[in-house]
């Protein structure tokens, strides 16, 4: 196992309102929010026990999308412009 040091800056939470027409509103909040529902796809890293425990310990709830269902994950398309 390799030890990794993380250097973190400020954290931000992005709260988008998404419809079939795209993002209709968004709010950026400095810091993390409590009682979040984290919706993740089925990437192997998303099923890591340590990650799930960390989310749940901070009051979050983990929900997974069904396998092979990008149509249930429209936020990925919406965030493509932010990642570019």
Measured CA to CA, the distance from residue 28 to residue 43 in angstroms comes to 26
Cβ neighbourhood burial of 53 (10 Å; 0-12, 13-18, 19+): exposed
Q: Which residues contact 19 (CB under 8 A, 6 or more apart)?
A: none
Residue 2 corresponds to which tokens in the numbers above?
């390799």
Q: Give the residues of the chain that fall short of pLDDT 50.
A: none
For the full predicted model, state whether its pTM sits above 0.75: no
The number of residues making up the chain comes to 84
Structure tokens at 76: 């990925």
* CB distance 29 to 15 below 8 Å: yes
- Using one digit for the tens of pLDDT, what is the confidence trace for 63-78? 998 887 777 777 776 6
């Amino acid at each position: 196992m390799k030890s990794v040091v993380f250097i973190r800056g400020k954290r931000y939470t992005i709260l988008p309102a998404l419809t079939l027409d795209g993002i209709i509103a968004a709010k950026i909040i400095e810091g993390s929010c409590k009682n979040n529902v984290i919706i993740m796809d089925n990437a192997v890293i998303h099923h890591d026990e340590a990650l799930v425990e960390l989310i749940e310990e901070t009051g979050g709830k983990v929900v997974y999308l069904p396998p092979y269902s990008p149509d249930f994950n429209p936020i990925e398309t919406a965030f493509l412009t932010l990642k570019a």
